[in-house]
Structure formats: C-alpha cells, structure tokens
C-alpha cells in the first residue's frame, strides 16, 4: 500500500511539474518577479513570466493567503524613512493584480496573517530597523487593508554584539499551531516576543516573552507538533534559529490558562551544522518543516562550505555563476556555495538528529521554500541575484541536485511557491 501511495505521489508530482508551477520572487531591486517552472522528459526550465514594481524600492518579504488568493509584499525601505505594504490578488493563471500600497514604520521584513481563516483576519508585521511590531486589518478577500496598531521597543543598552544588537530588531512574525498567539524573534533584544489577539477586534496584546541565550540573536522560528495535531493539550515544540550564535534550540511549549501566553522549557541545542565542524562566521537564516512533518531544514550563509563545478554540458540550460576576476571574461570551472542543513525530528523528546549538509546552489541563501509535495526546494540566493530549484527526496529528506536556475535583477530576498493555489486554494478570476 505504501509503495502504491508513493508511486501515486510521484506521478502527481511529475504531472504538476509538466503542467507548470508558479513561483514569486522579491528582490531589493524593487521587483516582484513571477517565475514559471516546468519539467518535460527530464528537462527542467525556470523562466521569468512577469515582473512588477509596485512594491518598490526594496521588497523584503512575500506573505500569501492560499485560501483567499492574496499576496502581500513588504518593502523594507532601505534608504527611506519608512517602509510600505503592497497587496495583490492572484489570478487563475498566477498573474498578480496590484490593489493597494500604504506606508508603514520603517524596515518591515516579515509578516503573518492571523485571525479567523474564514472570517475577519489581520496581518502582523515585524519591523527590523523600526524596532517595532505593527498590525493591519484585512478587508475581506479583495486585498484591501487598514492600519490597526503598533508596538515600539527600546533597549537600555546595546547587547553583546553591539554592531547587530544596537537596538531591538524584530525579524519575523509566526503563529503558534493553535493560531492564538503570534511570536516575534527579536535579534537585537535576544527575545521571542509573544502576543495574544482579541477575537472581536483582532487587537494584539503583548505577553511575557521567551528570553533567548544572551547574544544569540534569534532570527526565525517554527513550531512542531509530533503527531500533526494542534491543540493546547497537544505535545508542542518550538525551534529557534539564532543568527549570531549559529544555533538551533528546541523548546517544549505549554499553554497557560485563560489565554495567558506560553511557557517554554529548553530541551535541545545544536550548531546548525549538526555533527559537522561549523565554519567561522556562519550566519543561519531561514528554517522550515517538511510537508510530511518529519524534517527540519535550515539555510546557512556566509560560510561557502561547498565548491561546485560549472556544468558546461548541462542539459538543463541554466546559467552558471561567473565568479571571474574583474576584467576576466573566462568562465571559471567552479563556484562557491553555502548550504542547507537537514535534521530529523525525534518525537520522544523533541531532540533533532543531523541528517545532511547540502549545497544551496550558490551564496547567501537568505530564504527558501519547500513545495507542497516536498520534492522541490526553491532557494533565494541574495548575493548571487538568482533563484535555484533543488530536487529533494521526500522519503529520506535528502536534498539533491540543482535542476534549474534563473537570474533575478537585484538581491533576492524571498521566494514562495504558488502551486498550492492550483491544488484547491481559492483564486480570483
């Protein structure tokens, strides 16, 4: 039976690839680029199908709502006093229709939608340079939104890393598995800020935070339910990736009564390189759980742990990085690559077992996404100005070869798959 199910999944994966998968990529050049990924007879193609600049000048993050056919783009505003949000509706063909652009506090770098999935919703934003969290109510499913509230944070003095911890730096906003709480890793303050929200107004209330290891710089986090069931009484863990310490830390999570917040008990800590020697200066960034709920994947930057050969005979016809010396147009034989770390979850105690360190396909994988079937990984290579597609074995969790690549104008900041909309999500016509 398992073999039949696996064969059916592989057949579905192949059929989807042939029909085409849409991806959306943001970059600091000011663009959102729509990509089309196809595979036919073993040949892969990743091409740009559209581009828009309504989220300019510095798009930093893309948040999608598959059920409502909406996409929200955050503009970090690197050289401006403010940032902004741009909203889009997603057409049946994956096209984006711009709806609204509104100014925000400076430095929005991440956002999450919360509320009732079939009712009233809001968007919570983490502001890195703005040292703040803001919330915005969403108006139905038409892409409209309105400002709701803001929380501003300060530090009494710089942290152990004064260059990076000169002020609070909210880096992400995520939901707990029940959807009742929003957590915000703060790299500058070494905190994971916790917020509850009111069902009637969607207003946020700040609760007791989790204090991370001093100087660790928490950047991103994920929750994990070992048995795939989310409830306050269910076994729940959270894993925090710390950029400055280059660690992943696991916490057992329990729920306080009457919506009073969350309690945390540290159960695991490791280098993001697992059993391998960690290079000096490694700076982990993104973290995701595989769709089958069995593996944790982390991106590592600033280490270049791999040297990849330039494939001049590639049948996939994607460009190779040309790290040639200035004035030298000769294509080099190799190019550097950072990495993706894979760990396997242990349900008994929440610990992680190191599985693999794989090439990310280039340098500075700021963000990546795993498709719904778990057989593809799209990686945004910030300083390569490119997006790559890596094969992944969903059964073993092992990440394999790069099968497609496309250049993107400017530093890539995020890439998200759009194929979930084609698998049952609501789309706009």
pLDDT in tens, 194-237: 999 999 999 999 999 999 999 999 999 999 999 999 999 999 99
pLDDT digits (tens, 9 = 90+) for 74-103: 999 999 999 999 999 999 889 999 999 999
CA dist., res. 280 & res. 303, Å (int): 7
What pLDDT, on the 0 to 100 scale, is given for residue 313?
54
pLDDT digits (tens, 9 = 90+) for 153-203: 999 999 999 999 999 999 999 999 999 999 999 999 999 999 999 999 999
What pLDDT, on the 0 to 100 scale, is given for residue 329?
57
CA dist., res. 231 & res. 213, Å (int): 28
Which pair of tokens denotes residue 221? 């986090």
CA dist., res. 125 & res. 184, Å (int): 9
Neighbours of 4 (CB within 10 A): 8
What pLDDT, on the 0 to 100 scale, is given for residue 419?
66
Among 359, 319, 324, CA closest to 340: 359
Query: Where would I find the H helices in 124-237?
Result: none
Q: Give the residue-averaged pLDDT of 334-360.
A: 97
CA dist., res. 110 & res. 104, Å (int): 13
Dihedral angle at the C-alpha atoms of 407, 413, 418, 420, nearest 10 degrees? 140
Longest dimension (CA), the chain: 66
Neighbours of 336 (CB within 10 A): 16
CA dist., res. 296 & res. 397, Å (int): 9
Query: What is the number of helices (H) and of strands (E) in the chain?
Result: 1, 30
Binning pLDDT at 50, 70 and 90, where does residue 403 land? Answer: very high
Using the structure block, give the residue that is written with the tokens 């040949």: 43
Q: Is the pLDDT of residue 38 over 50?
A: yes
Binning pLDDT at 50, 70 and 90, where does residue 325 land? Answer: very low
Angle ∠(318,324,325) on CA atoms, nearest 5: 165
Cβ contacts of residue 416 below 8 Å, gap of 6+? 23, 24, 62, 64, 369, 378
Q: In this structure, what DSSP letter does residue 9 have?
A: H
Q: Give the residue-averaged pLDDT of 393-408.
A: 96
CA dist., res. 224 & res. 139, Å (int): 30
Question: How confident is the prediction for the chain on average, in pLDDT?
Answer: 90
Task: Using alpha carbons, list the distances in angstroms from residue 282 to 133, 136, 171, 304, 331.
Answer: 27, 35, 18, 9, 27
Dihedral angle at the C-alpha atoms of 256, 231, 176, 258, nearest 10 degrees? -30
CA dist., res. 350 & res. 131, Å (int): 32
Signed CA dihedral, 353, 172, 404, 289: sign only: positive
Q: Is the pLDDT of residue 9 over 70?
A: no
Task: Using alpha carbons, list the distances in angstroms from residue 122 to 62, 82, 146, 202, 343.
Answer: 15, 21, 9, 7, 33
pLDDT digits (tens, 9 = 90+) for 328-343: 556 678 899 999 999 9
Which pair of tokens denotes residue 158? 């710089």
Among 427, 424, 256, 399, CA closest to 340: 399
Instruction: Answer whether 153's CB lies under 8 Å from 114's CB.
Output: no
Task: Using alpha carbons, list the distances in angstroms from residue 175 to 124, 137, 238, 362.
Answer: 10, 16, 11, 30
Q: Considering only CA atoms, give the Rg of the chain.
A: 21
Which pair of tokens denotes residue 159? 């942290």
Q: Give the residue-averaged pLDDT of 34-46.
A: 90
Cβ contacts of residue 58 below 8 Å, gap of 6+? 28, 30, 75, 76, 77, 78, 79
């Amino acid at each position: 039976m398992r073999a039949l199910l696996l064969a059916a999944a592989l057949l579905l994966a192949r059929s989807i690839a042939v029909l085409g998968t849409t991806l959306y990529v943001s970059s600091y050049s000011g663009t959102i680029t729509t990509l089309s990924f196809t595979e036919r007879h073993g040949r892969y193609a990743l091409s740009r199908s559209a581009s828009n600049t309504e989220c300019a000048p510095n798009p930093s993050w893309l948040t999608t709502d598959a059920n409502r056919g909406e996409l929200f783009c955050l503009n970090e505003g690197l050289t401006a006093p403010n940032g902004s949000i741009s909203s889009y509706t997603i057409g049946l063909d994956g096209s984006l229709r711009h709806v609204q652009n509104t100014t925000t506090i400076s430095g929005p770098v991440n956002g999450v939608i919360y509320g009732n999935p079939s009712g009233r919703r809001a968007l919570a934003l983490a502001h890195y340079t703005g040292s703040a969290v803001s919330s915005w109510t969403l108006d139905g499913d038409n892409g409209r939104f309105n400002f709701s509230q803001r929380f501003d944070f300060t530090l009494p003095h710089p942290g152990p890393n004064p260059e990076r911890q000169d002020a609070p730096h909210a880096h992400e906003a995520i939901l707990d598995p029940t959807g009742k709480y929003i957590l915000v890793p703060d790299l500058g303050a070494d905190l994971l800020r916790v917020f509850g929200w009111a069902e009637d107004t969607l207003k946020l209330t700040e609760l007791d935070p989790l204090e991370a290891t001093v100087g660790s710089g928490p950047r991103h986090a994920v929750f994990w339910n070992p048995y795939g069931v989310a409830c306050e009484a269910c076994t729940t863990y959270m894993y925090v990736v710390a950029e400055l310490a280059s660690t992943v830390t696991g916490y057992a999570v329990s729920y306080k009564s009457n919506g009073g917040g969350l309690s945390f008990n540290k159960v695991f800590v490791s280098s993001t390189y697992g059993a391998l020697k960690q290079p000096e200066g490694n700076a982990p960034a993104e973290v995701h759980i595989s769709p089958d709920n069995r593996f944790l994947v982390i991106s590592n930057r600033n280490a270049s742990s791999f040297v990849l050969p330039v494939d001049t005979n590639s049948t996939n016809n994607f460009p190779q990085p040309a790290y040639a010396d200035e004035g030298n147009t000769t294509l080099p034989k190799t190019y550097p690559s950072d990495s993706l770390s894979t760990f396997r979850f242990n349900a008994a105690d929440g610990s992680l077992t190191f599985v693999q360190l794989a090439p990310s396909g280039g340098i500075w994988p700021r963000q990546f996404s795993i498709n719904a079937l778990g057989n593809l990984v799209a990686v945004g290579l910030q300083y390569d100005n490119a997006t790559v597609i890596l094969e992944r074995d969903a059964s073993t969790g092992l990440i394999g070869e790069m099968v497609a690549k496309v250049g993107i104008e400017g530093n890539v900041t995020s890439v998200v798959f759009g194929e979930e909309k084609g698998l049952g999500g609501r789309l706009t016509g």
